[in-house]
Amino acid sequence: MKRLIIICEGQTEQEFCNVLLAPFFSQIGISLQAPLIKKSHGGIVNWDSLKSEIEKYLCCEKDVLLTTLIDYYGIEASHRFPQWSKAQEIVDKCKRLDFIEEAMKNDIDENLCVRFMPYIQLHEFEGLLFNNKEVFYNQIAAEELVGKDELESVFNDFDNPEMINNSVETSPSHRLERIIKGYNKIVYGVCLAEAIGLAQIREKSPRFNRWLDILCAALQK
């Protein structure tokens, strides 16, 4: 069985990988491992640290393909991702992330980078959860769903949940904290994602969908 490692930024992404992505890849004969970024305490780390971790996995695991599941929201210039300043000149966010991902790949050892397929989620993982409005009403208790007006507004304003923007006030995770009383990222994140289903998430989130297509194509060669 071929193997895939997805280095995850936090526990929410890790649970998503274990609960939804692992069964998906298992169906096509792929074994999935989803470790957390080391020394991150549930967040992003500087590029040199992440690069070192990526190269260690690729050196030790000769038969594995490796990717990342990290949020664009929260990465700062101080994290020193390759070509970061130049990337900020690209207006289109999807093209900007494509550029950064390519720079990440090119910065990995030339003998290892062929098995590295970086991925940065636009803008953050929680955006994928704004997929089906009815799932919120069906899965969240009425007394906990305290931000119905904001929920309705998000779905009216964004056809593509990946485009929900990334300021402190408007990032998907901060919206969810206002919409759901007592919101817990790990518990609610996986609950909502399971209720939506991977197929529906892929249908409404084109960049995420493309990532899975690329991984499947590479792993099935």
3-state secondary structure 176-213: HHHHECCCCHHHHHHHHHHHHCHHHHHHHCHHHHHHHH
- The 10s digit of each residue's pLDDT in 43-60 is 899 999 999 999 999 999
The answer to whether 120 and 100 are in contact (CB under 8 A) is yes
Distance separating alpha carbons of residues 111 and 51, to the nearest angstrom: 14
Two tokens at 54?
A: 């990526």
- The 10s digit of each residue's pLDDT in 103-138 is 999 999 999 999 999 999 999 999 999 999 999 999
The answer to whether 172 and 129 are in contact (CB under 8 A) is yes
- The 10s digit of each residue's pLDDT in 71-111 is 999 899 999 999 999 999 999 999 999 999 999 999 999 99
Q: Kindly state the percentage of the chain with pLDDT values over 70.
A: 98
For residue 165, the model assigns a pLDDT of 82
For residue 170, the model assigns a pLDDT of 87
For residue 166, the model assigns a pLDDT of 63
Distance separating alpha carbons of residues 89 and 34, to the nearest angstrom: 32
Q: Is 41 left (phi over 0), alpha (psi -120 to 50) or beta?
A: left
For residue 168, the model assigns a pLDDT of 77
Residues 6+ apart with CB under 8 A from 206: 160, 162
CATH assignment, 2-124+201-219: 3.40.50
Min mean pLDDT across 13-17, 46-50, 165-169 is at 165-169
User: What is the location of CATH 3.40.50 in the chain?
Assistant: 2-124+201-219
Q: Tell me how far apart the terminal alpha carbons of the chain are, to the nearest angstrom.
A: 13
Q: Is 39 left (phi over 0), alpha (psi -120 to 50) or beta?
A: left
Q: Beta strands of 54-144 (E only): which ranges?
A: 64-71, 116-117, 120-121
pTM for this structure?
0.95
For residue 43, the model assigns a pLDDT of 82
Determine the distance from the C-alpha atom of residue 77 to the mean position of all C-alpha atoms in its chain, rounded to a whole number: 19
Tell me the pLDDT band of 39, cut-offs 50, 70 and 90: confident
